[in-house]
Each structure stands twice: as structure tokens, then as C-alpha cells.
Structure 1
Amino acid sequence: MKSKDKTAKYKPAEDREKDLKLALYRIQRGRSHSGETKVSIAAVAREAGVSTALIHNHYQSIAEVIREVQGRSSRAMRDVKHQDLIAERKKSQAYRQEIKELSAKVARLASINEVLLDENGVLKAKLNNRSVVDLASKKPQ
């Protein structure tokens, strides 16, 4: 007879789902029996007198409705992440382009710097009255 009493505690899934929906409705309308004011899975579970694991594991559709009410539905979160990904890809593309342009500038500046260093050496040598052969002014034969 004890086993009969145990099974009597469990409600059919349809009734439990109805209880969860009513608990969500009461919280949304500010008529919670448990004093809950914010919609969350934990709040709905407390209001309905069940565990959060029960909602997560057996009533995923209710959990999704709760997330939608919170503005955190799987679809909405996926869409936000997708938009963030697109924005980050655009930034990355712009950064790669900037790196390419800056690398070209660095190469040009390094070349100019080498020419200036060479010219500076020639001018210092002329200043010290040394005989210097200017390689740039000699023409190949």
C-alpha cells in the first residue's frame, strides 16, 4: 500500500505543465502565491512547488517560454551572437586591411631609412674631409 501512496504524489505531465504555465502567469501578473516578482525558471519552479531540474529536464518548452519572457530565448540569444559574430568579422577584416597597409608603410619607411642612413654616412665622411666614393653618382658602364 505504501507504493500506492508514493505514486499518488506524482501528477500527470499534462497537469504539471498546466501548473507551470499558471505559475508563470501568476508571476507575470504580480499575483504570485510565493511572493515571486521576477520571472525566472527558479521562480516558476518555486511558485509551482517543483524543482528547477524538473523544468529543465522534462518541460523544455516551458523553460523556453520562460527564457523568451526574460528576453533570453535560445533563438534570440543565437541571433544576438550571430550579429556579434558578423560585427567581429567586419572588425577583423578592417584590422587585417590596416595591418597590410601599415606593413607596406613600414617597408617603404625602412627603405627610405636605409637611403638616409647611407646619405648620412656620405655627408659625415665629406665633413671629415675623407675621400668618399659616392656609389649612387657612379654610372654603370
Structure 2
Amino acid sequence: EAALDAWMRAHVSGYAGPLTVRQFKGGQSNPTYELVTPSAAYVLRRKPPGVLLPSAHAVDREFQVISALAAQGFPVAKPQALCLDETVIGSIFYVMDKVEGRIFWDLKLPGLTPAERRAVYEAQTDTLARLHAFDPAAIGLG
């Protein structure tokens, strides 16, 4: 945590510790952590430890994609910084702002009314349509 704190002080604009680190449930195949300070909260995504296939767990590619989308005003968490130095925490990682919201683990959306489910599904469809309207090459993702 001390090495991460030092790295964040040098690379994340406005960062000020102390830092508390907590691993999130989920995160798919890349370990994901909540980073909390007295004035801000961030999310860290890292490659898992161990020997990996060269193209697997490409958190650097994730960072590139969310950075390009953020530059277009697309609703993604603000990317803060990418660390390619494996010596900091044992693997490459990136940090983005933490965005509060709801996480739906069950895509059937139990507990929501039909109207609420419809609104969620329509928002999802609208967001996917907006995403697919981008020309990847035009936004730096060719």
C-alpha cells in the first residue's frame, strides 16, 4: 500500500492520502480494488499475478479504451493513470474515478417492477447504440 500511495501521489492529479484499499467482489478476471482517501474514491484494475498469455488480462487496453471514450463524452469512469511498472504492486494496473451506481448481478432484474426493468433495458440499448456509433479509428482505437 505504501508503494501504491507513493505512485498515486506522483501520477493522480489531486490525490492526497491516507489510502485505504479494499478488494471488490467481481471484477471479472482482473482483480479490482476500491481505493479510498478522505476526499476521493478510486477504482484500481490490475492484471492478476502469475504467468499469463501475452494478450490476456489487458488492463492497459482497458485503460486505452476508457480514455478514448471519456474524451468523447461517453459515460465511463474518468481514467486517472496507467502504471506499466510491475514493481509498484506486482503487475501493471490503472486507476479511474469511482462512480456510484447500482450493479445488477442478475440480468433478469428481480425486485424491479416491469416499468423499471424496461427503463433499465432501454437505457442499456441506447448506451450500446451510442457506443457502436463511434468510428474506432476516429477516436484513436483503430
TM-score by length of 2: 0.22
| Greater Rg over alpha carbons, structure | 1
Name the one with the larger helix percent: 1
- The answer to which structure, 1 or 2, has the higher relative contact order (CA under 8 A, 6+ apart) is 2
Bigger fraction of residues in strand: 2
